[in-house]
Chain A
């Protein structure tokens, strides 16, 4: 079946560097994507979203890029901080009220 997946399960980044988290999706009909951050013992927290009619969207220290040609989504975090350590999920909205989640990338920030 179609699914959303992340390229790497873990990412280690030096504090102050930029982080890039990648996600591949296979449902070409999807038109809405979300990035969530999940800290230990907490529920997923909304970071940023993007519609398929956009290629890029920026938030505070975060940027999401969408490449529909290769069905690829990425989350860029600028000047990564210790508080950015978490599991990051991309989610894809299908047309039946369901969000499909990838398995997640665990980001560890090194001091």
Chain B
């Protein structure tokens, strides 16, 4: 039982490059989330999904896109990476939106040069 799995764990990109971060959960959760965590700060919500085929913007969505083609997967894309997107990215999932905790992956550490 893996829970929430994120790939890759680390990546270094050059400014302007694109990449996709993958999140997979095996708990049959409806809700999935992408956060970023910067030093000395809590997690900030980028995008989220309330079910397969649906996505919505969170607190800091600019520069990112997401897709939820399958219930178990939630992809985060950076079309043209910028140094301000250097961060640790966490994916989370939950069975319902309220009253149940979100379960997190171990993060993807992304550096943009």
Residue of B nearest to A98 (CB): B45
Contact A89 B42 (CB under 8 A): yes
- CB contacts (< 8 Å) of B58 on chain A: these are 98
B74 at the interface (CB under 8 A from A): no
Query: B11 CB to closest chain A CB, in angstroms?
Result: 15
Query: Could you tell me the distance between the alpha carbons of A32 and B104 in the complex, rounded to whole angstroms?
Result: 18
Contact B97 A97 (CB under 8 A): yes
Size bin of chain B's contact surface:
20 to 34
Q: Report B's interface with A, CB cutoff 8 A.
A: 4, 31, 40-45, 48, 50, 56, 58-59, 90, 92, 97-99, 101-107
In addition to A97-B50, A98-B48, 18 A-B residue pairs with Cβ atoms within 8 Å of each other are A31-B98, A32-B98, A36-B101, A41-B106, A43-B104, A43-B106, A43-B107, A44-B43, A44-B104, A46-B101, A93-B99, A97-B97, A98-B59, A100-B42, A101-B42, A101-B44, A102-B42, A103-B41
A-B contact list, 15 entries, CB within 8 Å:
A4-B42, A31-B98, A32-B99, A36-B104, A41-B106, A41-B107, A42-B106, A43-B4, A45-B104, A46-B101, A91-B42, A97-B56, A98-B58, A101-B42, A103-B42
